Structure 1
Amino acid sequence: MQAGSNHWVLLMDREDTGLASHPSAERIGFARLTTMAFEGADLRPLRDQLIGRLADGSASAGEGLDLSLIIQLLGDKQTGMAIQAEVLAYHQLYRSPCSSQAPKLRVLALAAAIDMGGNTPIEFLLENSGIELQTLYVVAGIDLPIPLPEHDVAIVIASDSEECVEALRKIDAMAPRWPRRLLNSPRFVRNLDRDKLYGLLQGCAGLEIPATLSVARAELTSMAQSTDLSAIATGLKFPVIVRPRGSHAGVGLVKVDDGAALAQYLAGRPEQAFFVSRFVDYSSADGLYRKYRAVFIDGKPYACHMAIADRWDIWYLNAGMAFSEEKREEEARFMRDFDHDFAFRHRAALAAVANRVGLDYFTIDCAENKSGELLIFEADNTAVVHNMDSPVVFPYKAPQMRKIFDAFAAMLSRAAPKREQAA
């Protein structure tokens, strides 16, 4: 190039990176379809149209994957997953809608062939960023493509679920030879399961995390009959929290106060493995429970949401935040003052969480215990962080979500190969 040229060049030559152009299937994608469902749109006409195209053989791979998601959003997980498996068997690389005709960065997300909640919903984070997102599904029986699809930075979006073990193993095997920066190492993702997270975080100053134990059904049945929980863990007593292993979003989650309640719970559940932990009463002085979600990006925590309810088993949708101006005002203060209030009070504990978890991007659901310590419920790399809430009802949310999205995009840019102007 001539001196003074305005062209930009990569420091690392593309031909030496093990990257190549691969055909990518276009799709409507997770963010747009989920937003449509969240806003009450009727997805059935689109479903029927895509089913017709699938039936006559004219559907593209992207349309097939969209159909799988639509059917899951309409409540038929089994059929949706069957369609997804068929589509992913012959095509694994998909391109999400991009807000820019000339993307400033190319991101490759590494996903597992799991249901719609099993991978990081990264499209929400990048929807208006001007960053190109391609998703490569790591499928059983199919090797990762070599050379890999062109990208500036890659990120693992598969979860810690049992269904993702093989996908994480494949990515981890190639990780030492990955030609670009690989964020959210699969080795760290595997530490997020509830029992492993306890082992990772126990002993942090200013932090409480109840021991979570993996227990077989037969063992729980025996404990229900004897009412003695010491065989599970020394000192464990009723009440306890029980949930099926691998469940999320409160599915199968209960507090049981005695052996009879535990036996009744097991009679209504088909699962063979469960998580058990001691119950912690984290109610505030006013008798209400406050549960927080924080997002960690490159080690820094950001406020995501706050839910307030008169029940301990809170998630945002059952807290009635949209129906209480007082609750929303408190959530707005939590977001506005987060850096010099909540995050400042718990700075040592939050720093320890970021350091021990080690992921570039993840979330925690947490509270404060009676002693004012940070109480950790779970850490996750697949929680939905979105900007779908009504700007009329929640006017304070959009600026906070943009702050999170901008921080995520900035992290990806820092992780990409540096560019310099040619001399």
Structure 2
Amino acid sequence: MLDLAEFSNDPLLARETLLARLKVAGTAGEQAQLHYRLWEMCQVCGDEVAALSHLEAAIHLDPVQRPDRSDEGAVRRIVVLNVPGTFQANAPLAMLLDDSTALYTMWVSGEPGRREELAERIRKLKPDAGILAMGEDARQTAAILEAEAIGRTSGVPVLNGEERIMQMARSTVPEILENIPGLLVPACRVVCAPFDTLPSFPLLARPVSSHAGDSLARIDNRADFDRYVHETGASGSYYVTQFIDYVSKDGLYRKYRVVFVDGVPYPVHLAIHDDWAIWYYNAKMEQFPERRVEEARFMLDMTAVFPSSVMEALYEIPQRIGLNYFGLDFGVLQDETLVVFEVETAMIVHDRDPDDIFPYKSACITRIRQAFERMIDKHAYAGVSVEKDTTYSMS
């Protein structure tokens, strides 16, 4: 398989090289793996339509995407079940794991009549375990449920099952997490035209099934809402969420991200901004050394950053959610209340930030990877003692 590392600074060249390889590829399997790589590279190049076309072709040829390198010497083998879509549709676990874990991805489109065939494909791979990695999306309900059924039929231990992913909609999470001491989940519901009843303003609005802040807006009055709906598509459905001002005493906003691995929260990053609408990319943490010092404190030992009430709330969340692996974005109000922004099963966790600017991140992401490996090993060898990381244990 083509090693794209040498093309890391020139995705257009990488795409052209892959297309050239595709023209001379011999077997359907070789063609499929090249289409999968083109799905990735076309997204990097900003051509989503071409990317999804390559993904469709790949799945048709071979629904199993194989590791880029030989799995010889790997300590464990897992099958990740994905649904078709862009990078945002599924957790990119390959960005977290290293070569000690051989990762095979089975793409499930929800096509009827293939359950036993695909379950048998999983069995033939002889994985230690499988994991459902897709994010909650009402448009993908059939595919997600079919992926669960395929996993069950295979007989392989599968994590993140029991239809839990489909319960992670923004409108259902507040009910799941209600009445946890020290925790606030802003009320959220789905509204459709004619939008006769809306929560009190200000509120946050976004199209249902949108992610990463796509078309997210703060709305302060009805006229602004009507204008927003007109601009984004009046026939759509929207999540409307009570806006909670989570500004800190110093006038800055802080958005924390953790990932839960077998019930234990691990810090992923902290974004600090002077605007409430924060994503890590727009916080530009690389430009603020003093903010990176604060992020380092959080990532290296968040128990020293948060009061015990926040940590206790964090540990209650996975008990309610019931997933083996998922992420959480949240803030902390001035009265030390934890405010939930999003529960996400397709969250990105990676170790690709430059070490000279973020020297503290690599060790923290390594801890997450090791915890993930222990989780897989525990479920693969049920009944065999596996050492557990208790760094953030409340016991």
Provide the TM-score with structure 1 as the length reference: 0.83
- Distance apart, 1:306 and its partner CA: 0.5
Q: What secondary structure, in the 3-state scheme, does the structure 1 residue paired with 2:181 have?
A: coil
- Distance apart, 1:219 and its partner CA: 2.9
Out of 6, 12, 32, the position equivalent to 1:61 is 32
1:252 aligns to 2:215 (yes or no) = yes
Q: Is the 8 A contact 1:387 1:401 kept in 2?
A: yes
- Distance apart, 1:162 and its partner CA: 2.6
Deviates more, 1:51-60 or 1:404-413: 51-60
1:294 aligns to 2:262 (yes or no) = no
1:234-279 C-alpha deviation (Å, 9 max, x unpaired):
xx31111111111111110110111221122122112611100111
- 1:89: which partner in 2? 60
User: What aligned pairs does 1:174-185 form with structure 2 within 5 A after superposition?
Assistant: 174-185=150-161
- 1:19: which partner in 2? none
* Alignment partners' CA distance in 2, 1:404 and 1:258: 42
Judging changes above 3 Å, is the alpha-carbon distance between structure 1 residues 164 and 343 closer, same or farther for their aligned structure 2 residues?
A: farther
- 2:390: which partner in 1? none
What residue ranges of structure 2 are gaps of 5+ in the alignment? 385-395
Once the two structures are aligned, what percentage of the paired residues are identical?
29
2:159 partner amino acid: L
Out of 210, 219, 233, the position equivalent to 2:194 is 219
- 1:167: which partner in 2? 143
1:117 aligns to 2:88 (yes or no) = yes
* Alignment partners' CA distance in 1, 2:307 and 2:351: 22
- Distance apart, 1:136 and its partner CA: 0.9
RMSD over aligned Cα, in angstroms? 2.2
- 1:189: which partner in 2? 165
- 2:12: which partner in 1? 44
- 1:373: which partner in 2? 337
- 2:328: which partner in 1? 364
User: What aligned pairs does 1:5-404 form with structure 2 within 5 A after superposition?
Assistant: 41-55=9-23, 58=26, 60-97=31-68, 101-128=72-99, 130-141=100-111, 143-144=114-115, 145-147=118-120, 148=123, 149-185=125-161, 187-216=163-192, 218-220=193-195, 222=196, 231-232=197-198, 236-270=199-233, 272-342=236-306, 344-404=308-368
- Distance apart, 1:36 and its partner CA: 6.8
Q: Is the 8 A contact 1:89 1:139 kept in 2?
A: no
Q: Is the 8 A contact 1:160 1:189 kept in 2?
A: yes
Q: Which structure is larger by alpha-carbon Rg, 1 or 2?
A: 1
* Alignment partners' CA distance in 2, 1:84 and 1:146: 21
Deviates more, 1:43-52 or 1:374-383: 43-52
Q: Is the 8 A contact 1:346 1:373 kept in 2?
A: yes
- Distance apart, 1:383 and its partner CA: 1.1
- Distance apart, 1:404 and its partner CA: 0.9
Provide the TM-score with structure 2 as the length reference: 0.89
* Alignment partners' CA distance in 2, 1:256 and 1:123: 37
* Alignment partners' CA distance in 2, 1:88 and 1:125: 23
- 1:13: which partner in 2? none
- Distance apart, 1:53 and its partner CA: 3.5
Q: What secondary structure, in the 3-state scheme, does the structure 1 residue paired with 2:251 have?
A: coil
Q: Is the 8 A contact 1:288 1:311 kept in 2?
A: yes
Count how many residue pairs are aligned between Structure 1 and Structure 2.
374
* Alignment partners' CA distance in 2, 1:97 and 1:312: 39
Judging changes above 3 Å, is the alpha-carbon distance between structure 1 residues 93 and 175 closer, same or farther for their aligned structure 2 residues?
A: closer
Q: What secondary structure, in the 3-state scheme, does the structure 2 residue paired with 1:389 have?
A: coil
Judging changes above 3 Å, is the alpha-carbon distance between structure 1 residues 418 and 204 closer, same or farther for their aligned structure 2 residues?
A: closer
* Alignment partners' CA distance in 1, 2:173 and 2:210: 15
- 2:388: which partner in 1? none
2:210 partner amino acid: S
- 1:225: which partner in 2? none
Judging changes above 3 Å, is the alpha-carbon distance between structure 1 residues 186 and 94 closer, same or farther for their aligned structure 2 residues?
A: farther
Q: Is the 8 A contact 1:110 1:136 kept in 2?
A: yes
Q: Is the 8 A contact 1:111 1:138 kept in 2?
A: yes
2:238 partner amino acid: F
* Alignment partners' CA distance in 2, 1:320 and 1:261: 29
* Alignment partners' CA distance in 2, 1:262 and 1:209: 22
